[in-house]
Amino acid sequence: MPTPNKAASVAELKDAFQSSNAAVLTEYRGLTVAQLKTLRRSLGENAQYAVVKNTLTKIAANQAGITALDDHFAGPTAVAFITGDPVESAKALRDFAKENPNLIIKAGVLDGKALSADDLKKLADLESREVLLSKLAGAFKGKQTQAAQLFQALPSKLVRTVDALRAKQAEQGGAE
Maximum CA pair distance of the chain?
111
> 97 or 125, which is more confident?
97
Cβ pair 96, 103 in contact under 8 A: yes
**Confidence class for position 152, pLDDT limits 50, 70, 90:** confident
The per-residue pLDDT for 67 is 85
**Confidence class for position 81, pLDDT limits 50, 70, 90:** very high
Q: Is the pLDDT of residue 1 over 60?
A: no
Q: Is the pLDDT of residue 176 over 60?
A: no
Q: For 5-9, 43-47, 86-90, 171-175, which range has the lowest pLDDT when averaged over its residues? A: 171-175
Mean of pLDDT values over 11-16: 89
Q: Is the pLDDT of residue 99 over 60?
A: yes
Cβ pair 57, 67 in contact under 8 A: no
Q: Is the pLDDT of residue 83 over 70?
A: yes
Distance, in Å, from the CA atom of 30 to the CA atom of 50, rounded to the nearest integer, reads 16
Cβ pair 64, 17 in contact under 8 A: yes
82: helix, strand or coil: strand
Can you give the pTM of this predicted structure? 0.68
Question: What is the 8-class DSSP label of residue 71?
Answer: G
Q: How far apart are the first and last CA of the chain?
A: 111
